[in-house]
A and B are shown apart, each in its own frame.
Chain A
């Protein structure tokens, strides 16, 4: 156990991630937000669905930190619960996209020929339709609701994973250790699963982290357009939409959920960038230099 901990602590990725102060801050913010979303019933001061028509559209006060919405529901509580939707959609859709995309990429890269051409042309076709329109389109087939939105956004993101995986497979396939594996009697399937698949995972994880923010933005956009999560479930996108009408009288209702979307997406983007840099062999060794140059400038 101690050994594993030491290995994690000394790994390059962890070192690079924790070398940047901004990334550490982002990780802390994300951890806090995810925890508050998970333990929403314990953290949120009010029931997010309880309507209280006597306290409609209240401003910021000690009782209601962010005020209340047009139905008298506590805004902060709704935002905390809305985080659940965002995080679930982000995570699940990225996993759906990564999982299916990786399988398709593996098949395309290993099979080659007509199968490869077919899979790649279909992904090309999917990529030529902008992601948000693809998600809208798939959403209209699947219907509203959390699970369907995850699926719609996930499917619309598949092509990039399939492409990245295929590219990786094509490089790894030619490596000497694959030939060695074949010589030792490993079947094509074993080679693919044991030697090629693990080499595709890191690139996909980076892409997944970088896409988390996009997935959350897309969910918010779909909910804003009224084609996402069903009311009364709190979703940050639909909350902005609800607050839109009260823009001049009570702007907090629309501004606050948007700020939360922005912070979460920003944090995921920063972590994703750092992870990409950490896993990019081209940038290996540049980290120390950066630090030095920074010191020089501050001095």
Chain B
């Protein structure tokens, strides 16, 4: 049984690597179409032609596209992503430091969304048609429709400007105490969690409702299974597959959503880096940033597939 699971995981890893390779190719090809030049952008309007030529040669932008691509990929195998023109720093170092900041928002937000989403979804499904269900469904619909940046702004208005209990922006320093650090994360985390939380609630509710009607649930009830066991072992476990699918998709989306959250709350994370890099035409940073995000999404998908196998033996044995 485990052999089959490992085989499936191996197959999926190979597929992911192929997809990631296509991502590098696509991003690189598309980057060639972007108007503007990183060197000219960095040096400004007063740069002489000699300076531009010197820097272009230094960063390797004068070489043919194929050579540039080859160098990038070869570098990746050595753990080198090249040098950022705008930041004048090693990209590997910058990206991983930023990725850490981004993950410190994304992961807690994801956990928050999953826990509250699933619990609210179960509550709504169990009390279908009641006032509680209506309220939960209403707020889930609102949560899905709210523009993230706008919700963030409202929270800043309320908690930072009006009540003054949370900071408006930036990142706390761990050295200033734990509360300093956490208080800076609360608002960005909440904003990022909002949409996915609503999605999880809706998905849990609808897949629970589908399961509740099944014959085996009636059988379990007739056998006298306790309410708790009925909910978690017989209903939730069977309802989990579509929920986990949504989780995988949403976690990927949340990594993308940091672009907005980080720009509202001025958090120096990967999303912020991507925006400045896109605006400043810092090609190498954009290429590597997209790749890192794609890797993160690929890992999410892989974990989802493994979870499928663990939860549903039918999939594992397919």
Contacts and interface: CB of A to CB of B under 8 A. Distances in A.
Interface in B2-46: 18-20, 22-23, 26-27, 30, 33-35
Interface residues of A, number: 45
A211 interface: no
Contacts of B253: 130-131
A221 B22 contact: no
Contacts of A140: 34, 278-279
B263 A125 contact: no
Interface string B132-172: 00000000011011111110011011000100000000000
Nearest to B24: A125
Contact of A125 (B26, B256, B274): B26
A240 B19 CA distance: 37
B30 A141 contact: yes
Contacts of A141: 30, 33-35
B290 A247 contact: no
Contacts of B252: 128, 130
Contacts of A49: none
B147 A261 contact: yes
Residue among B148, B156, B256, B275 facing the most chain A CB atoms (10 A cut-off): B256
A133 B274 contact: yes
B259 interface: yes
A237 B154 CA distance: 14
A294 B129 CA distance: 6
A254 B153 contact: yes
Contact of B297 (A130, A220, A297): A130
The 4 closest A-B pairs by CB, nearest first: A130-B256, A258-B150, A266-B145, A125-B22
A225 B297 contact: no
B153 A262 contact: no
A121 interface: yes
Mostly helix, strand, loop or mixed at chain B's interface? helix
A122 B22 contact: yes
Interface in A103-141: 121-122, 124-133, 136-138, 140-141
Given A269-B141, A269-B144, A128 B34 contact: no
Interface in A251-294: 251, 254-255, 258, 261-263, 265-266, 269-270, 293-294
A262 B198 CA distance: 14
A204 B252 CA distance: 23
A111 to B, nearest CB: 19
A244 interface: yes
Contacts of B20: 125, 128
A225 B275 contact: yes
B19 A255 contact: no
19 contacts: A125-B294, A127-B297, A128-B20, A130-B253, A133-B256, A133-B274, A136-B259, A137-B27, A140-B34, A140-B279, A143-B35, A217-B147, A220-B149, A225-B259, A227-B278, A258-B146, A258-B150, A269-B141, A293-B129
